[in-house]
Structure 1
Amino acid sequence: MAHQFEPLQNDLIIRTAWGQKVERPPMWVMRQAGRYLPEYHEAKGKHDFFDCCRSPEIASTLTLQPIERFAGLVDAAIIFSDILVIPQAMGMAVEMVDKVGPHFPNPLKDPEDGQYGKVMNKKVDVAGELDYVYKAITLTRHKLEGRVPLFGFCGAPWTLLCYMVEGGGSKMFAKIKTWIYKYPKASKDLLQKISEVCVEYLALQVKAGAQLVQVFDSWAGELSPSSFKAFSLPYLAYISKHLPKRLKEMNLDPVPMVVFAKGAWYALDSLCDLGYQVVGLDWLQDPAEAVKIRGNRPIVFQGNADPGVLYGSREAITVVVEDMVQGFGGGKQGWIANLGHGITPGVKPDDLKFYFEEIHRLAGS
């Protein structure tokens, strides 16, 4: 039974993502629901991070905070969740350690390790294990009342494998490099399994009410161009090819798909051929250069201001926005305004508001 939601009042980002000409570029930012907002800390209270993800009520409250604060400026909401819910669903424990970040008490050590066999052999109940995400999406859609569309998302297989092997964030990535160069077959087998879980997870998010989806390959830049072709690209392609098929099987309409491979500037040409409607750019790419690489392909770019500019002066923010608007060709087609990565914790909300206002001023109708 399909959910009944309020009609959409602002479909700007959906029209843009499908390649249509629009009156102004739509805008949102990655991690827009988060630690930089004082209201986030109030709503989160003493709850553990993953407890917030597992509570549809808290997750939906946090998702809506930037929509309410930046009303009329933000054109999409993104569900408050985390990319590491997939490893959790696959049977791995993940904790969020204060001031450290995610921590896996028992990461994957090598393919002979019993943990690897357990993860590979587990039949993942994607619907049951991640039910709280779908409930949060449905509740959020109702609370949005059609104000803006809602993004669902997942981590990319390569990035998830990095966390599962490294046991958290990393500077050297020595453990995952050991895996891909010493155990390439075991690495690829697990990447394939993660890809299949991602497809089902995203399809069920759409069923629950997500209107666009984004795949976050946060650690893509740790791979060389040839390793990216072997250990990331095929699995990103698997998702973009199989998600529309899965939605069709479920009698659901296709939704725009976004791929964001942070740091993989060298792979932009390949990313434009993967089957995603939107390619997210980080701040290491020059907008005008990216437009040249895209050529005549009907790809929409998303990005790509350095999040660090929000620590700077208003003048610095204006210069960055001017460069983006000019570089992306004025913003009336083929561009979703965003940052080149997630907003960082120390940013003042009013400076983000100014960033949005400048995009409106310089690229509005």
Structure 2
Amino acid sequence: MHLDSRHPLAAGLTHDSRLIRAYRGDRPDVTPVWFMRQAGRSLPEYRELRVGTAMLDACLNPEMASEITLQPVRRHGVDAAVFFSDIVVPLKLVGVGVEIVPGRGPVMDAAVRTSDEIDALVALDPAQLDTALEPVIEAVRLTVEGLQGIPGAPGATPLVGFAGAPFTLAAYLVEGGPSKDHIRARALMHSDPVAWSRLMAWCAEVTGRFLRAQVLAGASAAQLFDSWAGSLSLEDYTEHVAPASARVLEHVHDLEYELDGVTHSVPVVHFGVGTGELLTTMHEVGADTVGVDYRTPLDVASERLGGDVPLQGNIDPAQLFAPWDVLEEHVNDVMRRGDSAPAHVVNLGHGVPPETDPDVLSRIVQLVHSR
């Protein structure tokens, strides 16, 4: 399916931006940089805007979600906006009882742990999202319009859409909320693999539709987050998780655009936390670029991936609180190691901590762009 001719990629607004070039494996003269969770808690303007509004309500308010997405682009001069939303938004819109509890994270009204409970869950039709996602679609549209008024590199600043990978969504559903070891989810995977497969297939369809809707509405790249995959062995990930993640990305892989007589696909990034041993399989599910967390040096990651895969990452978030000379050396080291890949997008090896000084992030952007 071809993107609408007004889409930022198809219109040529973001196709040659630093970010999209790097995701294609074409290293630009200036290394692109953005930060996961840049749209949010570290910014005083975000906290002021969010007063009195619950997280999921903010995600489903198009004007507010768009403004929050734009804030860090204006402040930091990053090379991408990341859409302000949450991986559980499609769960809520399809009928799952879920709220984001401050200081804890997503909490389900009821955990899903038995075959009967999974049957009841998967009876919720993911096709509902075709209409229920309209607030998300409108927020993306507003954001894309706003980004065209902010200097890009060149053209407009690209928007990165994102979704949670099926294992991470399933872990929340089975555990009922955040968990340190996801042991109930991993136990279900082995004790009832048939029920687990149904759950993963449903999660893939729900989150895949969420990701596709963002791209169709104007996102120039798609990132799949697997926050909890690091709790899995390579064997378990490959057998019980990777096929569902591949299914998510199929929702984006058929989206193409033509520019100057050449057909291009929408770039896809796959990122997981603690997934250094899973990188090759995470790439093989259908990603163009692999995000690497702070635990695995980028040159090591590049070697594991064969040296021909663009990388994203991987500043240690803890280093954001170090003296500048320490942080500067760390960022330079990350960039040196990133030179081992065909292209590199500087990012954090996880999200921006809420206590981060925003000026530190701006200073990192200046450093990366000056190298």
Give me the TM-score of the superposition, normalised by structure 1.
0.91
Structure 1 unaligned residues grouped into runs of 5+: none
**Kept after mapping to 2: 8 A contact 1:43/1:61:** no
**1:348 pairs with one of 337, 357, 361:** 357
Question: After superposition, what is the alpha-carbon deviation per residue over 1:169-198, rounded to whole angstroms, capped at 9, x for unaligned?
Answer: 112323212211211111111111221233
**Kept after mapping to 1: 8 A contact 2:294/2:349:** yes
Question: Residue 118 of structure 1 aligns with which residue?
Answer: 120
Partner Cα separation in structure 1 for residue 5 and residue 28 of structure 2 = 28
Q: In the TM superposition, what is the alpha-carbon distance from 1:91 to its structure 2 partner?
A: 2.0
From the superposition, tell whether residues 296 and 286 of structure 1 become closer, same or farther in structure 2 (CA, over 3 Å): closer
Letter matched to residue 221 of structure 1: G
Partner Cα separation in structure 2 for residue 24 and residue 295 of structure 1 = 24
Partner Cα separation in structure 2 for residue 193 and residue 57 of structure 1 = 30
Q: What pairs with 1:250-289 in structure 2 (closer than 5 Å)?
A: 254-289=265-300
Question: After superposition, what is the alpha-carbon deviation per residue over 1:222-241, rounded to whole angstroms, capped at 9, x for unaligned?
Answer: 11221111222222222334
**Kept after mapping to 1: 8 A contact 2:289/2:312:** yes
Letter matched to residue 132 of structure 1: P
Question: What is the RMSD computed on CA atoms of the aligned residues?
Answer: 2.1
Q: What pairs with 1:234-249 in structure 2 (closer than 5 Å)?
A: 234-245=243-254, 247=255
Question: Residue 55 of structure 2 aligns with which residue?
Answer: 49
**2:302 pairs with one of 291, 304, 311:** 291
**Kept after mapping to 1: 8 A contact 2:32/2:369:** no
Question: After superposition, what is the alpha-carbon deviation per residue over 1:131-157, rounded to whole angstroms, capped at 9, x for unaligned?
Answer: 211110011101111530001110000
Question: Residue 129 of structure 1 aligns with which residue?
Answer: 132
Q: What pairs with 1:32-111 in structure 2 (closer than 5 Å)?
A: 32-71=38-77, 74-111=78-115
From the superposition, tell whether residues 330 and 267 of structure 1 become closer, same or farther in structure 2 (CA, over 3 Å): closer
Question: After superposition, what is the alpha-carbon deviation per residue over 1:225-263, rounded to whole angstroms, capped at 9, x for unaligned?
Answer: 211112222222223345213x369xx963100000211
Partner Cα separation in structure 1 for residue 322 and residue 178 of structure 2 = 27
**Kept after mapping to 2: 8 A contact 1:90/1:119:** no
From the superposition, tell whether residues 317 and 286 of structure 1 become closer, same or farther in structure 2 (CA, over 3 Å): same
From the superposition, tell whether residues 110 and 266 of structure 1 become closer, same or farther in structure 2 (CA, over 3 Å): same
Question: Residue 174 of structure 1 aligns with which residue?
Answer: 183
Question: Residue 306 of structure 1 aligns with which residue?
Answer: 316
Partner Cα separation in structure 2 for residue 21 and residue 99 of structure 1 = 39
Aligned length: 353
**Kept after mapping to 2: 8 A contact 1:92/1:106:** no
2:34 is the counterpart of 1:31 = no
Structure 2 unaligned residues grouped into runs of 5+: 149-154, 258-262
Q: In the TM superposition, what is the alpha-carbon distance from 1:5 to its structure 2 partner?
A: 6.3
Give me the TM-score of the superposition, normalised by structure 2.
0.90
Question: Residue 8 of structure 1 aligns with which residue?
Answer: 13
Letter matched to residue 122 of structure 1: L
Q: In the TM superposition, what is the alpha-carbon distance from 1:295 to its structure 2 partner?
A: 2.3
Partner Cα separation in structure 2 for residue 345 and residue 194 of structure 1 = 29
Partner Cα separation in structure 2 for residue 2 and residue 311 of structure 1 = 43
Q: In the TM superposition, what is the alpha-carbon distance from 1:296 to its structure 2 partner?
A: 4.3
2:362 is the counterpart of 1:325 = no
Question: Residue 18 of structure 1 aligns with which residue?
Answer: 24
2:159 is the counterpart of 1:154 = no
Q: In the TM superposition, what is the alpha-carbon distance from 1:202 to its structure 2 partner?
A: 1.9
2:199 is the counterpart of 1:190 = yes
**Kept after mapping to 2: 8 A contact 1:77/1:149:** yes
Partner Cα separation in structure 2 for residue 329 and residue 4 of structure 1 = 34
Q: In the TM superposition, what is the alpha-carbon distance from 1:265 to its structure 2 partner?
A: 0.7
**Kept after mapping to 2: 8 A contact 1:79/1:150:** yes
